[in-house]
Amino acid sequence: MTQIPSVYTFSKDSIAQAKVLVVGDAMLDRYWYGNVDRISPEAPVPVMRVTRIEERIGAAANVAFNVVSMGGQASLLSVVGMDDASRKLEDLVSQTGIQSHFAHDPQLQTTVKLRAIGRQQQLLRMDFESIPKTDTLKVQTKLFSSLLPLHDVVLFSDYAKGGLGHIVDMISIARQAGKAVLVDPKGTDYTMYRDATVITPNKNEMQAVVGNWRDDDELSTKAQNLRKQLNLQAVLVTRGDEGMSLFDDQGAFHLPTQALEVFDVTGAGDTVIATIATLVAAKIPLRQAIAFANKAAGVVVGKFGTSTASYEEIFA
């Protein structure tokens, strides 16, 4: 294992010039809060009287939000429907400073995760989603080609909702243009991520692809094999409270978590890949970018509700 590189200095302006193209599954996180005082006469289930509704942008949209929160420039390219949820999602995204580009599929159900929360406790989650049409994915790829020259780095945020059905084409276009490609992967078939620059599976995602490992050496062997098989520059495994490990052609580079307090770990993976993309776009070397991404993740897990870190929180 190699040492953490010495601190790299750069200006806030170089971050402000960093242009990241985020492509992938965007979703709307909905929260219905209410009171539960009785059991339904219709079925043995609680009745919740909804008193408050909260809506937040999630998945790829949250990744793009992380980029702008730390002071970078983000464009979001995503496939959505033409429904109430897509209008809400587009409205919320337009308030963030993200440049948005949506390919609309009138038959698609925009992805929504709706939670019913009574007395601080989640009672039920309902998911709305469907698979986008091939025609819409082709429209997205066309948009991708035209947006690519305006960006330094491409970030694919895969939440397995079908929005990245044509990722193979997009990776090929991006690599031909010489752009770095970062992927937050999902599922068990990683062959579609071939030729990307970096993939950032979490522990469970890595396990689903390479199986279990007994110790760091075995993880290292498996990660290096995966890296070579897929022709990647690096594999970054985010390991929750164990921090993160990077595997590249120099070997393994492990960083313990920087979290001082842990309140809410959701979205930490989004923060990690968004920070790396922004810094790589600002021409910061990958290993240094990862050290800052680890710092940013430590910041966001210590916050309740919000899942982004500012420039000051990461670099001060």
Ligand X SMILES: Nc1ncnc2c1ncn2[C@@H]1O[C@H](COP(=O)(O)OP(=O)(O)OP(=O)(O)O)[C@@H](O)[C@H]1O
Pick the closer one to Mg ion by CB: 81 or 269: 269
Q: Indicate which of ligand X, Mg ion, none lies near residue 141 (CB less than 5 to 8 Å, by partner kind).
A: none
Pick the closer one to ligand X by CB: 50 or 262: 262
**Minimum CB–partner distance for residue 62 and Mg ion (Å):** 11
Pick the closer one to ligand X by CB: 117 or 259: 259
Binding residues for Mg ion (CB under 5 A): 269
Q: Indicate which of ligand X, Mg ion, none lies near residue 239 (CB less than 5 to 8 Å, by partner kind).
A: ligand X
Pick the closer one to ligand X by CB: 146 or 204: 204
Query: Would you name the residues annotated as active-site residues?
Result: 270
**Which residue's CB atom is positioned nearest to Mg ion?**
269
Instruction: Kindly state the helix (H) or strand (E) to which residue 37 belongs, with its residue range.
Output: strand 26-39
Both structure tokens of 168:
């193979």
Q: Indicate which of Mg ion, ligand X, none lies near residue 294 (CB less than 5 to 8 Å, by partner kind).
A: ligand X
**Minimum CB–partner distance for residue 206 and ligand X (Å):** 10
Pick the closer one to ligand X by CB: 223 or 301: 301
Binding residues for ligand X (CB under 6 A): 202, 238-241, 243-244, 257, 259, 262, 265-270, 272, 294, 297-298, 301
**Minimum CB–partner distance for residue 97 and ligand X (Å):** 21
3-class secondary-structure state, position 39: strand
CA distances 129 to 107, 108, 113, 185, 284, Å, are: 11, 8, 9, 19, 37
- CA–CA gap between residue 81 and residue 103 (Å, rounded): 8
Q: Indicate which of Mg ion, ligand X, none lies near residue 273 (CB less than 5 to 8 Å, by partner kind).
A: none
Positive or negative torsion for Cα 115, 265, 92, 54: positive
**Which residue's CB atom is positioned nearest to ligand X?**
269
CB 176 within 8 A of CB 184: no
CB 227 within 8 A of CB 217: no
**Minimum CB–partner distance for residue 141 and ligand X (Å):** 26
Q: How do 121-128 and 26-39 pair as beta strands?
A: unpaired
What length is written for the chain? 316
Name the DSSP class of 148: G
Q: Indicate which of ligand X, Mg ion, none lies near residue 265 (CB less than 5 to 8 Å, by partner kind).
A: ligand X
- CA–CA gap between residue 316 and residue 312 (Å, rounded): 5
**Minimum CB–partner distance for residue 123 and Mg ion (Å):** 25
Return left, alpha or beta for 80; rule: phi > 0 is left, psi -120 to 50 is alpha, else beta.
beta
